[in-house]
Chains A and B, each alone.
Chain A
Amino acid sequence: MTDQRGPAVPPVTIMPASEVRPGGRAAPRTAPRQVPRTGEGRRVAAPRAAKRDASRAGWVEERLDVTGLNAKYGRKAFPVHTTFFLGEMAAFAFIILIVTGIYLGLIYIPSSAPVEVDGQELPEAYASVRLIESIPVANLFRNVHHWAAHVMVLATLLHLIRIFFFGTYRRPRELNWIIGVVMLILTLVAGFLGYALPFDSYAVTATGIGYSIARSIPWVGNVAAELFFGGAFPTLGSLPRLYTLHIFVVPALIALTTAAHILLIVKNKHSQPGYARKLAEPGRVLGVPAWPYQALLAGQLFLLMFGALFILSALFEIHPLAAYGPPGPGTPAVKPDWYLLWVYGFLDIVPASLTLTTPIGTIGPQFIGGIVFPGIIFTLIFLAPWLDRTNRGRDVPRFEYLQPPAQAPVRLTIGVGFLTYIGMLFVAGYHVELGLSIAQTWYLSLIVPAVVMAATYGIARQRDPAWSRRFDPSAEEEDEEVLYVEAPRGDQ
C-alpha cells in the first residue's frame, strides 16, 4: 500500500482490515508517510515549481480553507456495499435530467395554440417537439431525458426498498425516511407533469385523466385542478402552468429535499453493513473516505450511467411523437408508464358502486381510486418507522447496522407481500387483455400476495443459514483494503 496520492490530499490513515483489532480502535500499521499539509510549514522548504504551486494553493487555501473543509467533510466515511449506490444513481439521473432538460427547454414551446405546419394544424407544443425530433442531437437528448426519468424513479424505488428490507429507517433515521418518501412522490409528480408536454394524443389523454382525478376531490377539487392545470384541461392556460411546475417548481423541491436528505445522512451518519460491528467500535463508521475514494467511485458511476443512458437512447427510441400523433377527437387506448400503472390498475378495478354522497360532495370511484388509494399506500410507507415493532422500546438507543432481512422475518414478509400486491395491480391494469373479470382480478390481487406472504414467512422462519447469509452484508468484504474508521467528531 504505497502512498500515491497527490500532495493536496491530507493524510488519510488507511489500513488493511487485518490490522484493525476486532471491536477495538483502529491502529495504523506503520506510521503512514505524512504528506505535508499545505500551508506555512511547507512553503519554506519547497523548491521553485512546488513553491509556485504552493503559493497558488495557498491563495485558495487562504480564502476557502480547503484543508479545514476537507478535514471536516472530506473524511466522512462511506460504507462500501453495492446497494449503497442506489440513492446516488437517483441523484445522478436527476442531474442528467436537468442537463438534458435545459437543452430541450431551449427549443420547446409550452403552448397549445394551433399553428400551421406543412399545411397541418398542430398545437404549437407538438410542433416544437417535432422540431426537436428533427434535430438529431436534440432528439437524442429527448430520449435520454425520457430514459433518465425511468432510471430516476427506478433507482429511488430500489433505494427505498433496500432501506426498508434492512430496517435502516429506524431510530434515528425516521425523518430521513419521510424526506425520502417525499422525494419519491415528487419524482412521480415530475414524471406525470412531463407527460403533458409533448401534447400528443397520449399526453392529452393521460393529463386529462389526471385533471379529472384532481377534480374528483370533494370540495377543493375544482379549485386545485384549475390551479394546477390552468383551467379546464385542455385549455390554453394548461401548458404554461404544467411546464413551470415540471421544469422549475418540482425540480426545485427535489433539489431542496435532496439537500435535506444528504444533510441528515451526515447528521445521523451512515447506517452500515453488520461487518462494521466487528471492525470498528459502535458510533464509528467504517468505510472509504468521501475524498478521494467515494468521490472516485461515484464519479465513475456517474460517467457509466451517462454513457449507458446515451447508448440506450441511441438504440431504443422511446415514445416518438408519431406513435400517437397529434390530439384528435378520439382517445387512444393508453396506459401510463410502469411507475403509475399500479394506480391505473386500481382505478380499473374499483367498483362503481363505491360512491358515497356526503354533505360536502360526492365521493366517487375516481376519488377513491385516484386519490384515497394511493394516499393510503403512501401513508403506510410514511408510517413504516412507527409501525415497525422493533423500533419501539428503548433497549437499543440507535440502530446503526443493517439488519439482514432473514433476521427480521415479519418485516421481510410484509415487504414482500406489499410488493406482490403492487405487482398484482399491474396485472389489474391489464385485466381486460388477460381476459380476467373484475371479480377475478380482485380475488387474484388478494390471494396471490397472501400466498406469497405465507411462503416467505415460512421460509424466513427456517433461518437456513446458507440462505440467510446470501442477503447478509456482514458476510462480505471483510478483507477490503481501503476501509478506514472515521474519526469521531472533534478528533481532528
Chain B
Amino acid sequence: MDNVTGTRSPAPEVDEHWMVNRRRALKWLIRAGYGAFALAFALPALALRALSQQQSEVASGDPLVYASNAGGGTAGQPVMASDLAVGDGIQAFPQGKDDNQTNLIQIVRLGDGEGAEGLVAYSAICTHLGCVVYADLNQDGNIACPCHNSQFDPTAEAEVTGGPADRALPSIELSVTPEGIISVAGRFSGPIGPS
C-alpha cells in the first residue's frame, strides 16, 4: 500500500450518512446470516424426534400370556385363572404384544371366584417414573415399585399408599375364556406410566 506514510489520496465525496447506514445494514445482514445458519442446523432436529417405531397397544379380547418365567409360569404361555391363588400377583403381556413394555399388565387375585371374579388387573408401569412394579405383593399386600418404593393398594383401585408416585396405576377389565385363559376385556382406565 502506498499510504503507509499516512498520506491518503483524497477520498471521493460521499454522503457520510448513507455510508453509516449502509454499514449498519450490512452488519445486521451478517448477523441475520449467522442466525439463519444456526436455525438451519437447529430446526431439522425437531424432525428427528419422531423416529419412534410403531408399537402395538392392548386391545379388548387379547388373551394374556406370562411375561417371564417368574411366578410359576413360562414366558409366552397363556395365563390361566386357576394359576393364581389368593394374594398372588403375576405379570402378563397381551399375546404377541410384548414388543411394547408399557403393555405389561399386573394381575392380582384378591379373592376366590368364578371366571374373572376376584381378579384385578392394573398397568404394571409405575406412574412415578416408569419402572415396572414387582409382580409379587409386598408384606402389606401392596403393589410396590423397586425404583423409589412407591406403593399401590390393589384392593382400592391401585391408589397410592406410599412413596413419591402421585397417581394410581390405571386399571383394566379382565374376562376369562371358557378354557380358563385370562384375557383383556376393555382398555386401561387412564394414561400408562408417568404423564
How far, in Å, is A329 (CB) from chain B's closest CB?
A: 4
- Interface of chain A residues 201 through 244 with chain B (CB within 8 A): 205, 208-209, 211-213, 215-216, 223, 226-227, 230-232, 234-237, 241
Provide the bound-state CA to CA distance between A236 and B55, in Å: 11
Contact of A409 with B by CB under 8 A: no
Which chain A residues border B134 with CB–CB below 8 Å?
Answer: 330
State in angstroms the CA–CA spacing of A226 and B53 once bound together: 12
> In the complex, how many angstroms separate the beta carbon of A123 from the nearest chain B beta carbon?
12
Contact partners of B83 in chain A: CB under 8 A: none
A144 to B67, CA, bound (A): 36
Q: Select from chain B the residue with minimum beta-carbon distance to A367.
A: B194
Cβ of A475 < 8 Å from any Cβ of B?
A: no
B148 located at the interface, meaning its Cβ lies under 8 Å from any Cβ of chain A in the complex: yes
Question: A205 contacts B68, CB within 8 Å?
Answer: no
Interface residues of B in 45-102 (CB under 8 A from A): 45-46, 48-53, 55, 67-68, 70, 91, 93, 98, 101
Cβ-defined contact, B91 with A355, below 8 A: no
A65-94 interface mask toward B, CB cutoff 8 Å, 1 = contact, 0 = none? 000000000000000000000000000000
Contacts of A234 in B (CB 8 A): 101
With both chains docked as a complex, state the minimum distance between the C-beta of B171 and any C-beta of chain A, in angstroms: 19
Given the known inter-chain contacts A205-B131, A215-B195, A237-B51, please indicate yes or no for A330 contacting B164, CB distance below 8 A.
no
Nearest CB in chain A: distance from B126 CB, A: 8
- The CA-CA distance from A328 to B75 in the complex, in Å, is 11
**How far is B148's CA from A205's CA once the two chains are assembled, in angstroms?**
12
Q: Do B149 and A366 have beta carbons less than 8 Å apart?
A: no
Which segment of A39-47, A297-305, A343-351, A375-383 sits at the interface?
A343-351
Q: Across the interface, name the chain A residue whose C-beta is closest to B135.
A: A330
- Is A235 within 8 A of B53, CB to CB? yes
- Residue B36, interface by CB 8 Å: no
**Which residue of B68, B91, B104, B129 contacts A366 across the interface (Cβ within 8 Å)?**
B129
CB within 8 Å for A232 and B130 given contacts A209-B147, A328-B68, A350-B164: no
Closest-by-CB residue of B relative to A354 is B166
The answer to whether B182 has its CB under 8 Å from any CB of chain A is no
Residue among B50, B132, B163 making CB contact with A330, cutoff 8 Å: B132
Given A227-B45, A329-B67, A330-B68 in contact, is the A366-B51 Cβ separation under 8 Å?
no
Contact B129 A212 (CB under 8 A): yes
Instruction: List chain B residues, Cβ under 8 A from A328.
Output: 68
Q: Which of B70, B93, B145, B164 has the most CB of A within 10 A?
A: B164
Taking a contact as CB atoms closer than 8 A, the residue among B51, B67, B128, B146 that contacts A333 in the complex is B146
Interface membership of B165, Cβ < 8 A: yes
B107 at the interface (CB under 8 A from A): no
Q: Is A462 an interface residue (CB 8 A)?
A: no
Interface residues of A in 313-370 (CB under 8 A from B): 328-334, 344, 347-353, 355, 364-366, 369-370
B50: which A residues are within 8 A, CB to CB? 226, 231
Q: Is B160 an interface residue (CB 8 A)?
A: yes
Q: Assess whether B52 is in contact with A226, with CB atoms less than 8 Å apart.
A: yes
B194 near A329: Cβ-Cβ < 8 Å: no
With A208-B130, A328-B68: A355-B52 Cβ-Cβ less than 8 Å: no
- The verdict on A432 contacting chain B, using a C-beta distance below 8 Å, is yes
Contact in complex: A230, B130 (CB < 8 Å): no
Q: How far, in whole Å, are A231 and B91 apart by their CA atoms in the complex?
A: 25
Partner of B146 from A208, A331, A365 at Cβ < 8 Å: A331
Residues of chain A with a CB closer than 8 A to B170's CB: none
Q: How many residues of A contact B (CB 8 A)?
A: 42
* Nearest B-chain residue to A351, judged by Cβ: B164
Query: In the complex, which residues of chain A have a beta carbon less than 8 angstroms from the beta carbon of B194?
Result: 212, 215-216, 364, 366
B49 touches A231 (CB 8 A): yes
Contact A231 B164 (CB under 8 A): no
B154 interfacial contact with A, CB 8 Å = no
Q: Known: A350-B164, A369-B164, A432-B149. Is A329-B128 also a contact (CB below 8 A)?
A: no
A216 to chain B, nearest CB (A): 6
Contacts of B91 in A (CB 8 A): 329-330
Chain B residues near A334 (CB, 8 Å)? 146-147
Report B-chain residues with C-beta under 8 Å of the C-beta of A235: 51-53, 55
- Contact indicator A347/B48 (Cβ below 8 Å): no
Q: List chain A residues, Cβ under 8 A from B49.
A: 223, 226-227, 230-231
Assembly CA distance A308 to B170 (angstroms): 51
Query: Which residues on the A side are within 8 Å of B148 (C-beta)?
Result: 344, 347-348
Whether A365 touches B164, Cβ cut-off 8 Å, given contacts A227-B46, A330-B91, A330-B132, is yes
The answer to whether A329 touches B129 (Cβ under 8 A) is no
By the criterion CB–CB under 8 Å, are B166 and A331 in contact?
Answer: no
With both chains docked as a complex, state the minimum distance between the C-beta of B76 and any C-beta of chain A, in angstroms.
11
Which residues of A are found within 8 Å of B52, using beta-carbon distances? 226, 230-232, 235, 237
A329: chain B residues within 8 A (beta carbon): 67-68, 91, 93, 98, 101, 104, 132
Could you tell me which B residues sit within 8 Å of A by CB distance?
A: 45-46, 48-53, 55, 67-68, 70, 91, 93, 98, 101, 104, 128-135, 145-150, 160, 162-166, 193-195
A-B contacts, 25 listed (Cβ < 8 Å): A205-B131, A205-B147, A209-B131, A212-B130, A213-B129, A215-B194, A227-B48, A230-B49, A230-B51, A234-B101, A236-B51, A236-B53, A330-B91, A331-B132, A331-B147, A334-B146, A344-B148, A347-B129, A348-B163, A352-B150, A352-B160, A352-B165, A365-B128, A366-B129, A432-B149
Given contacts A212-B130, A352-B164, A370-B129, 9 further A-B contacts (CB under 8 A): A209-B130, A211-B130, A212-B193, A227-B46, A231-B50, A349-B164, A352-B165, A352-B166, A365-B165
